[in-house]
Amino acid sequence: MGAAVLGSGGRIFSGCNVENTSLGLTCCAERNAIFAMVAAGETEIREILVIGETDEFLPPCGACRQVIAEFAPPSAVVHMCNRAGSSREATVSELVPFIFHWKKES
């Protein structure tokens, strides 16, 4: 599976699944792309694309949805694509209807 994130600065960051025998240590493409964006100094997602070698559309898993919600406005679009080149779109708020945000103390 692969993902690409369009950061607020206009740069695109990519990621892929990194599998591990211990499934808890696996990291999804979406989070890897977001972490690459953050490592490059950007902190806001404009759009995100997720694609896989399947006939189905691949929505982000729950962990990825939470990370996306931390770095994207609720109106940001998530493009879910399949190997046929078709896509389905949803906003972050549609994927995460009750977004949890950690409030930093001042």
Tell me what pLDDT residue 105 has: 56
Pick out the chain residues at pLDDT < 70: 102-106
Tell me what pLDDT residue 51 has: 95
Angle 62-71/29-39 helices, nearest 10 degrees? 30
- Joined tokens for residue 7: 């950061």
CB contact set of 87 (below 8 Å; sequence gap of 6+):
57, 79, 80, 81
pTM of the model: 0.90
Tell me what pLDDT residue 35 has: 97
| Structural domains of the chain, count | 1
Alpha-carbon span 60 to 37, nearest angstrom: 17
Tell me what pLDDT residue 23 has: 80
Tell me what pLDDT residue 17 has: 93
Q: Is residue 103 part of a domain?
A: no
Helices (H) and strands (E) in the chain, counts: 3, 5
* CATH number, domain with residue 22: 3.40.140.10
Task: Write down the H helix ranges in 23-89.
Answer: 29-39, 62-71
User: Can you give the residue range of the structural domain that contains 46?
Assistant: 2-95
Tell me what pLDDT residue 48 has: 98
pLDDT in tens, 59-72: 999 999 999 999 99
Tell me what pLDDT residue 4 has: 97
30 is catalytic: yes
Q: Is residue 76 part of a domain?
A: yes
Q: Please identify which of the residues 30, 42, 44, 47 carries the catalytic annotation.
A: 30
